[in-house]
Amino acid sequence: MTQDKKESSSLENAHRDIVANRPSSLVKRALDDLTRLKTHPPSGLTILNVEDDENTLELIEELLREEFSRAQIISTQHVADALAMCLIHPPTLLITNVMMPGMTGIELIKALRNHKLEIPTIITSGYYTAERCEQDGIKIGGNTQFIKKSSTFTETIRHMVRSLLKTTRYNSQ
C-alpha cells in the first residue's frame, strides 16, 4: 500500500470514528479540522488540547493563545478526534485530561506510542495522580509530565508548557 493510500485509509477510518455518536455540529467541526490538517499541515508550534469539560478546554485554550500567539492551538473534547489528528499530523505538544468518555487520556497516549509517536505530553486530572498514571503504564518524567488540577492549575500549566517546549524539537527550530 502506498503512503497516499495509507493516509487516505487513515483519514476515512478517522472520519468513521468521529461520526459515531456525535452531535452533527461536533462532527462537522472535527471533520473540518481533520480535512484542514490533511490538506494544510501546520508549520511551527502546534499544541493539541484534549479536554472533555468545555470550561476547562476553553480556559487552557485561552491561556495557550495568550502565551503562544504564533502557535496553532487545536482543541477537542473527544479522544478519538485527537488520535485521528495526531495520526494525520503529530502536534509539537499534547495536553490531555485523563478521565474522558469513550477513551481515556492514558489510552490515547498508549495508542500514540503503539503508532511509534512519542509526542511531548502534559497529562491533567482532577482525580488521577502521577502515581496512578505510572501504575497504568505511563511513566511520568522527561517528555511526559503530570499536572493535578487545582487552584494553581493555570500557572502550573503555563510553566510546564514552556519547560517542555524548551526540551523538545521545537526549541531547536
CATH of the domain at 65: 3.40.50.2300
pTM above 0.85, yes or no: no
Contact by Cβ (8 Å): 11, 39: no
User: Residue 169: what pLDDT?
Assistant: 61
Task: Look at the chain and report how many structural domains it folds into.
Answer: 1
The two counts, helices (H) then strands (E), for the chain are 7, 5
Q: Is residue 5 part of a domain?
A: no
User: Residue 3: what pLDDT?
Assistant: 46
Whole domain around residue 82: which residue ranges? 44-172
Q: Is residue 37 part of a domain?
A: no
Contact by Cβ (8 Å): 122, 168: no
Q: Is residue 161 part of a domain?
A: yes
Kindly tell me if the per-residue pLDDT of 7 is higher than 80: no
Q: Is residue 35 part of a domain?
A: no
How many whole angstroms separate alpha carbon 16 and alpha carbon 170? 32
Interval 9-67: pLDDT, tens = 555 555 555 445 454 455 566 666 666 665 555 567 899 999 999 899 999 999 999 98
Kindly tell me if the per-residue pLDDT of 114 is higher than 60: yes
Q: Is residue 155 part of a domain?
A: yes
Interval 52-95: pLDDT, tens = 998 999 999 999 999 888 888 999 999 988 998 898 889 999 99
Q: Is residue 124 part of a domain?
A: yes
